[in-house]
Structure 1
């Protein structure tokens, strides 16, 4: 039998707030006056954390929630917030009985973005119902719509992932040169994940190749030292020619490169000569 919360005049209940970052780090906080350990996570006491009302509805509109003060805890570094390590992190907000450690989750969502205002960080929370606003109908496109090595592509990601180490960093160009078995040109459009150093766990996109270096899609606030390890995945320009010649995967190409565009419909007829 499930518990009925707040059914008694006096309850031993606190609010908890859990953040599961995309790099594998999990942080927990609670409004209780001491740390609480449950669900395998230590939830730090945050007296300044003030939960607001959580609105849950039966329609398709996203639920709203906000917590003030949690992002000001000492365990959350401003540098990590500014670097985007909390963007896209999963969030759980719920109730916990600080005696029995029984819990009940009230809200599940993700952190859409983190902003700094007047020296304080605030997070925009998005409930899981935001996924209902995504259009599931595919649109025709000359390029491939499938994610490289993802559903529809069918290629094995393990074939195109490589362990590399940093050789040099160009801060002005936001470019990194790696020692490894793959060329910079093959990495254009791919992904990079740092395995050690101060950026460990952070994932970045590879925007382009610059000679033997790769250009990252986000600036490096902290420069990795030579020898820093990273895991890189090759990229794809989503054209049929690349899919056929480089990967031999044209049969799974998820695009329509020969479909006439809108300019053909708007074109005026011409008289035969």
Structure 2
């Protein structure tokens, strides 16, 4: 049961309230931002809540049981608060958002209404609408092991144990030219065979996208050079001369784990489970 502070209870009972909402947003990288729908900036503990962001909220829903509650916040992208580049770069993905009911005449009088994570973000010009998902959403996420033929680990993680810092599994390179928004010709990868970095990861170390990364859709070596295609366009334009570090990819099949990486002992799939073709072959 939620306990309402005595001062706030009296304020609500008075019939004349000085209430507003504040949102405290904590990104995965630790950056904390504050916003309010009041017309002046407020302090929520040590977090300044900006009024100039134009942030507001829609009607929120709450249900009994284990259903996922939800709501939305909407506002405008501003260079000094919420930037389009940060949003496109995924820096707000899965951010934690606290919603507070605050007496703006005495900000210490407040009530925590909800804690949620940032879900889908829709943009239209300079405006955005962000979905808020309650903590119940985590109950619907996959947990434990899944019995599949393919490996469920990611190459190089604690379960896989492959050392991606090895010279044969990672390399540095530079962008030589662009064939398309997410397709680049690169220099520095001539020693690696066709497809070696397919399904790998490319992280930029210089240029406008420095510090950002994307999965590799395709790595092709042909007579014209080395071409790398990313699964998605980077938030900022890629330019010739941009440096990057790229790591090998894995298709999560047992044969690849055994032959390419010599890591069969750590394979996290079940390659000998009979598939559907075997099951129906006896019908």
Alignment deviations for residues 221-254 of structure 1 (CA, whole Å, 9 cap, x no partner): 6322334343433321212222123322211111
* Cα drift, residue 189 of structure 1: 0.9
Q: Is the 8 A contact 2:115 2:134 kept in 1?
A: yes
Alignment deviations for residues 169-220 of structure 1 (CA, whole Å, 9 cap, x no partner): 4242722325479847432212233344332443311112022232100124
Match of 2:174 among 151, 166, 170: 166
Length, aligned pairs only: 266
Query: Which 10-residue stretch deviates more, 40-49 or 246-255?
Result: 40-49
- Normalising by structure 1, report the TM-score: 0.76
2:8 partner SS = coil
Give the RMSD, CA atoms, in angstroms.
3.7
Partner Cα separation in structure 1 for residue 124 and residue 56 of structure 2 = 18
> Aligned pair 1:6/2:8, yes or no?
yes
Q: Is the 8 A contact 1:17 1:93 kept in 2?
A: yes
The answer for unaligned runs of 5 or more in structure 1 is none
Q: Is the 8 A contact 1:108 1:128 kept in 2?
A: yes
> Aligned pair 1:238/2:252, yes or no?
yes
Q: State the partner residue of 1:224.
A: 238
Match of 1:60 among 66, 84, 103: 66
Q: State the partner residue of 1:43.
A: 49
Q: Is the 8 A contact 2:209 2:234 kept in 1?
A: no
Match of 2:39 among 16, 33, 37: 33
Partner Cα separation in structure 2 for residue 18 and residue 198 of structure 1 = 28
Q: State the partner residue of 1:150.
A: 157
> Aligned pair 1:259/2:276, yes or no?
no
Alignment deviations for residues 30-84 of structure 1 (CA, whole Å, 9 cap, x no partner): 2233334556654322374323444444521112122232x44453344554x36
Q: State the partner residue of 2:212.
A: 202
- Normalising by structure 2, report the TM-score: 0.74
**Aligned counterparts, 1:80-99, within 5 A:** 81=87, 83=88, 85=90, 88-95=93-100, 99=106
Q: Is the 8 A contact 1:86 1:111 kept in 2?
A: no
